[in-house]
Amino acid sequence: MSNPESLTNQFLIAMPGLDDANFHHTVTYLCQHGLEGAMGIVINRPSGLRLNDILEQLEISDSALPSAEQPIYIGGPVQTDRGFVLHTSGGEWDSTLQITSTISITTSRDILDAIAKGKGPEKSLIALGYAGWGVGQLEQEMSANAWLNGPAPENVLFDLPAEARWEAAAKALGIDLNLLSGEAGHA
């Protein structure tokens, strides 16, 4: 039974006043949200690494394909040595969680090999680490106005440059973040 209050497949958009260094001005795609807590991937924090850097470390044959030049993101402060690939569905990978009919997350090495060879999913975002919240923690942060939540358009997730995603995610809700105050109760 699915949780009707679930925020799975939504963006968490950091409010302008959120000062936590891990989440300031971030957009997080929620992969799971339920009674056990929540897990998501920050989608607008490039790490400075490229897929080729990771392939080299994993001793996967280096690729000259443009897909091997895609940026690696800082997905969050938890398990920062572990890779997560958000991607359009399709393909068979060893360790995949289907989030929606069109978006999945894979943690197995085989998808990186496929991307390097040009045989991976149509669109992907690769991150090291994830964002996690314990039972009730995300709900508490939302009631303290740390986050906005809303739909997660695939074009924001996969197509826009990282620096445009925070404002674009809020605009999908009809909100201009530049007009919001970080102060609760003040206009």
What integer pLDDT is reported at residue 103 of this predicted model?
A: 97
* Strand duo 103-106 + 78-88: pairing: antiparallel
Instruction: Confirm whether 186 is domain-assigned.
Output: no
What residue type is 113 in one-letter code?
Answer: D
**Token pair of 38, please?**
């929540």
Domain that holds residue 85: 10-177
**Token pair of 24, please?**
């300031």
| pTM, to two decimals | 0.91
Decide if 75 contacts 84 (C-beta within 8 A): yes
Instruction: Confirm whether 3 is domain-assigned.
Output: no
Sign of CA dihedral 30, 36, 37, 41: negative
Instruction: Confirm whether 187 is domain-assigned.
Output: no
> In a structure prediction context, what are the per-residue pLDDT tens digits for the chain, which is 187 residues long?
345 579 999 999 999 988 899 999 999 999 999 999 999 999 999 999 998 888 888 777 756 666 678 899 999 999 999 999 999 998 889 999 999 999 999 999 999 988 888 889 999 999 999 999 999 999 999 999 999 999 999 999 999 999 999 999 999 999 988 887 555 544 4
Instruction: Confirm whether 127 is domain-assigned.
Output: yes
Residue entry with tokens 């030049």: 69
Instruction: Confirm whether 184 is domain-assigned.
Output: no
What is the number of structural domains in the chain?
1
For position 99, which CATH number holds? 3.40.1740.10
Instruction: Confirm whether 65 is domain-assigned.
Output: yes
**Token pair of 50, please?**
């490229």
Instruction: Confirm whether 73 is domain-assigned.
Output: yes
CA distance 2 to 37: 14
Instruction: Confirm whether 44 is domain-assigned.
Output: yes
